[in-house]
Amino acid sequence: MAKKNAANGAAAATGRVGAKRPSDERTLGRLVDLGTKVSTESVAGSDPFVDIPTRALSNTNWNAKRRILEMGDASQRRNLFNLGQARKFMQTLLIASGCKELIEQGKTLSLRSMYYKSLHTIAGTKEKTFADQEESDPIIEDLEVALGSLREELHVFASERGKVVGNLTIIDNGDEIDLRRMGTGGYAIPSIVEPSVIKFGKCEAKFILHVEKGTVWARFNEDRFWQKHGCILTEGGGQPPRGVRRLLRRMHDELGLPVYCLLDCDPWGHYIYSVIKQGSMNLAFESERMAIPDAKFIGIRASDYERYGLTDDVQIALSDRDTGRAKQIAEYPWFAGKKEWQREIQTLLRNGFKMEVESLITKGISFVTETYVPQKLAQKDWLD
């Protein structure tokens, strides 16, 4: 927060790109339209409402041609004069007016700060506008889909997660950052990575390697993998947040770099890959800007256990929940038509155990960076 505000303050002085964004005008217009619509309906004596596109599997369509998940047309009408919806209706408008204020002032707030911004006790009652952040986060997402404006366009961001190093220079809010000189810590990927904030500089990378979590990323960074192989190395702290996904997509699109994913051999790893590749169900409306349909899955593969002669020690038994999730993933339409993926999941289920990327450590500390990944890349041994 403090960092952001300081940056914004500096922006005004230095003429750098501030929190003002090209999308602001459009977003403001949509917010005003929402207020006008509700006002007009109220004055006309009808029950005011906001239509909110449904964010669920039932309203998620697999666009096989574009190879991304798209949001369907289903939406839920949120009325004021419906006891079950009145509170949420009030919250939606409250958040909307809060966002308008942010945009007008050219400032951004985190999800948590946004919760505090909209939090107060309703006059004459003991009721709070929001009970906790759990209640405000979904309202912000509702507003995003209802307006068709992204969270960052509303000047709200999530807490940061994920790092990057590699053969690339970026300009973050006017500051040039050489990702080749980030030491052991790496560059923390901000929540908002839109071109207004982050621009790309000199790039010498040939591909992007995305790994699941920080520990594996640290191994690759210490071994200077990105330097040896001329690539960009990212991690997303598990399920990558929007900033990481958006950055991956931008690097893929704008720098023309292929994306390879190194994830755990379990249903959760598979789903991370799925989200990077074709988008998530919850944010299907953002797939267009986030999904990387050409991303490849290089491992860990269920067959690697035999192929690399791993020992029993690395096995982690599949729980019932894992098994159920694996079967569920196999049935997603975007996996259903892929024989190789069906085989992969079948092997996983037949094995009855999962494996983490770290299991390769048993073959040697740098086995994964020196042998496993280079081999896979050389052999083009990946799943699509």
Partner 1 sequence: MSGTETPTLESPASPRTRGSKPDPKPDPKPDPKSDIKSDPKSDPKSDKRRPARGATAEEMSQRQREISVSEFFAKNRHLLGFDNPRKALLTTVKEAVDNSLDACEEAGILPTIRVELMPLSETRFRVTVRDNGPGIVRKQIENVFGRLLYGSKFHRLKMSRGQQGIGISAAGMYGLMTTGRPVVILSRTRAKDPVHEVVLKMDTSRNRADIVSDSERTDDAGIFPEGHGTQVSIELEGKYLKGRQSVDEYLEQTAIANPHARIEYRTPTGEEILFDRAVAELPPETEEIKPHPKGIELGILIQMLERTSATQLGAFFKQEFCRIGPSVAKEICASAGLSDRTWVKQVGHADAERLYQALEQVKVSAPPTNCVQAIGTKTLLAGLLKEVKAEFYAASTRPPSVYRGRPFIIEAAIAFGGALDSEEPSRVIRFANRVPLQYQQAACSSFKAVLETNWRNYGLAQPRGSVPVAPLVVMLHMASVWVPFTSESKEAIADYDEIRKEMRLALQECGRRLQTYLNRRRRMARQGERRSAFLRYIGEISKSCGELTGRDAKAVYDALMKQAEAKTAEFDLVLDDEGRVVDDGGSLAKDEGVVIVESRQTALTSPVEGEGAAPPVEGGTLFADSPAASTKRAKRS
- Using CB under 8 A as the criterion, which residues of the chain lie in contact with partner 1 when the complex forms? 31-32, 34-36, 38-39, 42-45, 47-48, 80-81, 83, 86-87, 89-90, 93-94, 96-97, 100-101, 122-125, 127, 129
Looking at residue 126, the DSSP 8-state letter turns out to be: S
Q: How far is the CB of 20 from partner 1 (least distance, A)?
A: 20
Backbone dihedral region for residue 264 (phi beyond 0: left; psi -120 to 50: alpha; all else: beta): beta
Q: Tell me if residue 332 is catalytic.
A: no
- Minimum gap (Å) between residue 320 Cβ and partner 1: 41
Segments of the chain assigned E as strands: 49-53, 60-63, 68-71, 75-79, 109-110, 156-157, 163-166, 168-172, 175-178, 187-188, 198-203, 207-211, 231-235, 259-262, 296-299, 316-317, 353-354
Q: For the chain, how long is the longest CA-to-CA vector?
A: 73
Q: How far is the CB of 50 from partner 1 (least distance, A)?
A: 11
Which lies closer to partner 1 via its Cβ, residue 125 or residue 184?
A: 125
How far apart are CB 30 and partner 1 at their closest, in Å? Answer: 10
Cα within 13 Å of Cα(210), Cβ side: 29
Q: Quote the least distance from Cβ 133 to partner 1, whole Å.
A: 19
Q: Point out the catalytic residue in the list 116, 187, 260, 273.
A: 116
Residues 132, 135, 136, 137, CA torsion sign: positive
Q: In whole angstroms, what is the distance from residue 19 CA to residue 106 CA?
A: 5
Nearer to partner 1, 43 or 378 (CB): 43
Q: Got the DSSP string for 195-229?
A: TTTEEEEEE--SEEEEESSHHHHHHHHHTTHHHHH
Nearer to partner 1, 140 or 262 (CB): 140
Q: Of 93 and 262, which CB lies nearer to partner 1 in the complex structure?
A: 93
- Give the tokens for residue 268: 């959760």
C-beta closer to partner 1: residue 125 or 379 = 125
State the catalytic residues.
116
